[in-house]
Amino acid sequence: MDPITHAASGAVALLALKKRPDHRLALPLVALAATSPDADVFFASSPVQFLLLHRGITHSLAALPLMGLLLACAARPLWRPGTPGHWTFTRTWLFMSACVGLHIWLDAVTTYGTMIFLPFSHERIRLNGLFIVDPVFTLPLLFGLFYAANRASRPVAVAALAWVFCWPGFAVGLNSLHTANVTARLTEEGYRVERVTVLPDALSPLFWRVLFAENQGIQGQAVFEQGLDLLGRPRTPAREHKGAPRELTEALSRASAACKYFLNFTILPVISPLAENWLPGKTGVQSPVVDMEGSWLLYDLRFGSSLAFVRKLMALRPNADMPFQLMVELAKDSRTPPGFVLARERLRFSGSGRDSGWCIPRPPGSTPFWTWFAGLR
């Protein structure tokens, strides 16, 4: 979820209380607390670190009390005896922990995935209820915040805080309903469905997307994307992509730590020949068929949109491109069971500006000690 929504959620939580510290820094401090878990991005300089750290340990339930403690120590004006209506330190600690909990909740209901069980499990929780930037959710929240702040209206603040939980909860429930209905429809239409994932599109729940994989026998797996309306009915034709072959993804995960982390992050990875301007050098003629050699691009479809105007807006952002990309250069090797070896790799995350450049792969197990905190050792 975007920082503005996170900050607003913490602010309305404070305004919803009957008794709160009367200090000019109270709202800024709790707004900062509600955005604080995203400070993890400042510790991630490489794409691999970004995968392991963002929405990682600072977003976990185990670290929540410690995060709240650190934030409470930094929010001394809220518990300083000279502040009218000041809290005790313990109450400040509890409230700051609640702000971190609000952040975790709002991230977990999006499509990115939040590792809330670290350091015990690296499983990413994706409830797929809200788009990453969702004006249908955020604008009413901001209206409630500004009205409650300017009119000192606690009932409006309480309603805005309830909105933080009720609207995403409604969207998650609607997603479950659409998933069941779409699965039944695709089966009736003759698809040999292996996996169905319904995702919120921009302006959800008015618009949704579905990604589904179909087993096509010897031709491998195909991945389709299709736009849905409010009721989960198709609003665009199903668009087909080549699914990344399982034997390829398994071999890449064994050969490279970066590939392993990236493929764990994806939902239904797809593959295509790498465009000529991204090639690492002379790699030969590109084949239109995935034959486990050459240079290839693997990516995830879940961060797109079925709405044309949204795609145009996304194309206007700096370094506009698909946000998460894995590029690999494969070389034939008859001595290995897959028939190829991973020669070079590149992770490029255009949205965050991280790019590893072309490099020699590092096998799993050779990563630094801090990956333990991501649950991926």
Helices (H), the chain: 3-15, 26-35, 47-53, 64-74, 76-79, 89-108, 135-151, 154-188, 246-255, 257-265, 308-315
Residue found by looking up tokens 């970066």 in the block: 258
pLDDT for the residue 365: 73
255-294 pLDDT, tens digit each:
999 999 999 999 999 999 998 888 876 444 344 334 456 8
174-207 pLDDT, tens digit each:
999 999 999 999 999 999 899 999 999 999 999 9
Of 349 and 370, the one with more pLDDT: 349
CB of 75 closer than 8 Å to CB of 88: no
Q: Which residues contact 231 (CB under 8 A, 6 or more apart)?
A: none
34-61 pLDDT, tens digit each:
999 999 999 988 999 999 999 999 999 9
Query: Alpha-carbon distance 48 to 349, whole Å?
Result: 10
Rounded to 5°, the CA angle 290-295-301 comes to 70
pLDDT for the residue 278: 84
Mean pLDDT confidence for 10-16: 97
pLDDT for the residue 294: 84
Token couple for 35: 């955005």
245 closest CA partner among 280, 218, 265, 224: 218
How many Cβ atoms are within 10 Å of 339's Cβ, its own excluded?
15
Token couple for 162: 């309830």
- Is the pTM for the entire model greater than 0.85? yes
114-125 pLDDT, tens digit each:
999 999 998 999
Q: Does the pLDDT at position 242 exceed 90?
A: yes
